[in-house]
Amino acid sequence: MPDTSLTKRQESLLSHLESVYLLAQTVSSDAQTAARLVEAAYTQAFVTLPLSNPARNEKRWLFRLLLQIRHEQAEFERHTAEEEARAQAPPAALTDLRRRLARQIASRALPTTLTTLPDDQRLILLLCDAEGLSCDDAAFVLAVEAETACESLEQARAAVNDTLRAGVSEQERRLLVENLPDDWLRPTLRRTVEAEFDLPPSTLRHAIVASTLHPTAEPASEPASETPPPLDAPAATEDKPSRPQATPPKRTKSRRLSRVAFMVLLFVAVAAVSYLASDSFVNRPPETNLITLSVKQADAVQPSLETDSPEEAEAYVQDQLQWRLTLPSIDQAALSGVGLREVAPAITVPVFLYQDAAGETAERIALYVFSYTLLDQHDDRLKLEPEIQQQITDTGRFDLHDLGKRNVLVWRHRDDIFVAVTPGDPEALRQRIVFPS
C-alpha cells in the first residue's frame, strides 16, 4: 500500500517547481543544464527533506538545496579544469629552462640585430633603453617633439623583436614568442652595451681638463721684425737699404708648430668623443649593477692568497672580512686562489679564482660572492635586478647571461649570492656546480 503522506509531500514540493526552475535558469548557462540541476535538487529533496518540515518553509529550503548543488558542481568543474591545465602545462623546471633559453637566444642575437637597424632607431634605443632617458629627455637630445621620440622608440623596439625572430630557427622563434617577457629589451640591451663597450680612458678626462683649464695659445702679436711687409708696400730704394729681417731659430718654430698640431688633434678628438658618446656617457653615474661590475672587473682580479684548498680560502675570507661562507665545488675546475675586490666604493667582496680544465684550453673562472645583507645595506651602490632575484629564490635554480665575450651564471646558497664570470658556456658550467651538503 503506497505511503500517502510521502505522496502528499511530493505534491507539495512539486508545487514550487516553476519557482525552482526559474532560479535554476538564473544560475545556469542553458535550459538543459537548469533542468538537470532542478532534477538533482528534487531527487535529493524527496530523500532528505524531513516529513516534519512545515510546508511554508519548503520553497526556501528547495532554493537553498538547489544553490548548494550548483556550488558543488562549480567546484567540481573548477577542480577538473585545473587538473587538466596542470596535465597540459610543462613542469615548473621546464618552464624556467625555456625562459632561460629564450633570454640566452635574445642576448646572443642582440648585438647583430642592433647593427641591422637604421641609425635613428639604434640611437633612440641607446638613449632610452641603455642610458635610461625618458622620451622627453631623448626628444630634447634629438631636437624633436616628445611624441615623435616616443613613436620612434616603440617602432625601434618592434623592429628589434621582428628582426630577432626572423634571424633564428623556427624552434628558437617559438621559444622567444612564448617565453620572452615583454620588458626583456631594456636590461638586456644595457648589459650588452656595457659588456661590448669600454668606459672612457682615464687619460681622456685629464686631457679634457688640461685643455679647458690650461689652454695653449699663440701670442696675440709677433715682434715687428718677424712681421713680413704688406704686399702693397713700396720697394726699398738704393739710398735707404731695408733693415735685415730677423730669422727665428728653426727649433722654436718647429716646437710652436708641434703645439698647434697637438691642439688641433686634441680638439678634434674631444669633439668626436663628445659627439659620439655625449656628456651622459663621459659623466656616467657610478655603475651599481653587480653583474656588470663583476664582468668589467673579472680580468683585473688578482689573488690575495694563492691556494687550492677551499677550506683555507674560506678561512682567509672569514679572517679578512668576518664573512663565513661555504664554497661550492666545480667539476673539472681547480681552485687557484682568492682575492678581495672593491667592486663599489667601500664594498669589498671575495672573488675565488678557478682554472677550468673542462675545455680545450685552461680558462679562468672568477667566482664573486655577494649577499642579501650587502644588497640591503648598500642598495644605493649595489643592485641585483628583481627578476634575477626571483629566478634564484630557490637553491639549485640559476640565472644565465650570455654576454658574448663573457658569460655569467648566478645562483644562491643560503644568504650568499654567487656570480660566476666565465668565457665558456654558462649552461655547461651550471651542470658542473656541486652544492655543499
Model confidence pLDDT, tens digit, residues 82-98:
776 666 555 555 566 77
Do 70 and 119 belong to one domain?
A: no
pLDDT of residue 48: 74
Q: Is the pLDDT of residue 252 over 50?
A: no
Query: Coil, strand or helix: which one is 418?
Result: strand
Q: Is 132 left (phi over 0), alpha (psi -120 to 50) or beta?
A: left
Number of other residues whose CB lies within 10 A of the CB of residue 13: 21
Backbone angles phi, psi at 398, to 5 degrees: -120, 160
Do 114 and 185 belong to one domain?
A: yes
pLDDT of residue 98: 78
State pLDDT tens for residues 319-354. 899 999 989 889 889 999 999 999 988 899 999 999
Contact 318, 324 (CB under 8 A): yes
Do 170 and 98 belong to one domain?
A: yes
Give the burial string for 19-32 (b: 16+ CB within 10 Å, else e).
Answer: ebbebbbeebeeee
Q: Letter for the amino acid at 326?
A: T
Do 391 and 343 belong to one domain?
A: yes
Query: Coil, strand or helix: which one is 110?
Result: helix
DSSP one-letter string for 335-382: EEEEEEEEEETTEEEEEEEEEE-SSSS-EEEEEEEEEHHHHHHTTTT-
Q: d(Cα 413, Cα 391) in Å, to the nearest integer?
A: 13
CATH of the domain at 35: 1.10.1740
Do 83 and 139 belong to one domain?
A: no
Query: Across residues 151-174, what is the average pLDDT?
Result: 87
Range scoring the smallest mean pLDDT among 54-68, 224-238, 339-353, 376-390: 224-238
**Would residue 246 count as lying in a domain?**
no
Residue 420 in grid coordinates: 660566476
Number of structural domains found in the chain: 4
Query: Across residues 227-256, what is the average pLDDT?
Result: 49
Contact 67, 45 (CB under 8 A): no
Find the Cα–Cα–Cα–Cα dihedral 381, 377, 325, 320, rounded to 10°.
80
Do 355 and 428 belong to one domain?
A: yes
DSSP label of 169: -
Q: Is the pLDDT of residue 248 over 70?
A: no
CATH of the domain at 373: 3.30.200.100
Q: What percent of the chain is modeled with pLDDT above 70?
A: 73
**Would residue 106 count as lying in a domain?**
yes
Q: Is the pLDDT of residue 270 over 60?
A: no
Residue 409 belongs to domain spanning: 290-434
pLDDT of residue 168: 81
State pLDDT tens for residues 399-420. 888 777 788 999 998 889 999 9
- Name residue, grid cell 538537470: 36
More confident residue, 163 or 227: 163
H helix intervals, 29-134: 31-48, 58-88, 92-116, 119-125
Do 382 and 264 belong to one domain?
A: no
pLDDT of residue 380: 86
Q: d(Cα 353, Cα 284) in Å, to the nearest integer?
A: 30
- Name residue, grid cell 642582440: 110
Do 174 and 151 belong to one domain?
A: yes
pLDDT of residue 390: 85
Residue where a domain stops, chosen among 88, 111, 137: 88
| Strand 329-330 relative to strand 305-306, pairing | unpaired
For the chain, the 3-state helix, strand and coil shares in percent, each to the nearest 5, are: 55, 15, 30
**Would residue 381 count as lying in a domain?**
yes
**Would residue 223 count as lying in a domain?**
no
State pLDDT tens for residues 24-45. 888 888 888 889 999 988 888 8
pLDDT of residue 53: 58
**Would residue 241 count as lying in a domain?**
no
**Would residue 222 count as lying in a domain?**
no
DSSP one-letter string for 288-329: -BHHHHHHHHGGG---SEE-S-HHHHHHHHHHHH-----PPE
Q: Is the pLDDT of residue 178 over 90?
A: no
Q: Is the pLDDT of residue 162 over 80?
A: yes
Do 324 and 424 belong to one domain?
A: yes
- Name 368's bridge partners: 351, 419
Range scoring the smallest mean pLDDT among 119-128, 197-206, 384-393, 423-432: 197-206
State pLDDT tens for residues 100-121. 788 778 877 888 888 888 888 8
- The terminus-to-terminus CA distance of the chain in angstroms comes to 78
When pLDDT is cut at 50, 70 and 90, the band that residue 56 belongs to is: low
pLDDT of residue 264: 46
Do 81 and 99 belong to one domain?
A: no
CA 417, 184, 165, 134 torsion-angle sign = negative
More confident residue, 13 or 358: 13
- As a whole number, the mean pLDDT across the chain is 78
Do 346 and 277 belong to one domain?
A: no
Q: d(Cα 47, Cα 270) in Å, to the nearest integer?
A: 95
**Would residue 234 count as lying in a domain?**
no
Q: Is the pLDDT of residue 271 over 80?
A: no
Range scoring the smallest mean pLDDT among 229-238, 306-315, 372-381: 229-238
| Strand 329-330 relative to strand 347-356, pairing | unpaired
Do 269 and 352 belong to one domain?
A: no
pLDDT of residue 235: 47
pLDDT of residue 198: 64
pLDDT of residue 150: 92
Range scoring the smallest mean pLDDT among 47-51, 248-252, 348-352: 248-252
pLDDT of residue 202: 63
**Would residue 413 count as lying in a domain?**
yes
CA 106, 94, 356, 388 torsion-angle sign = positive
Q: Is the pLDDT of residue 261 over 60?
A: no
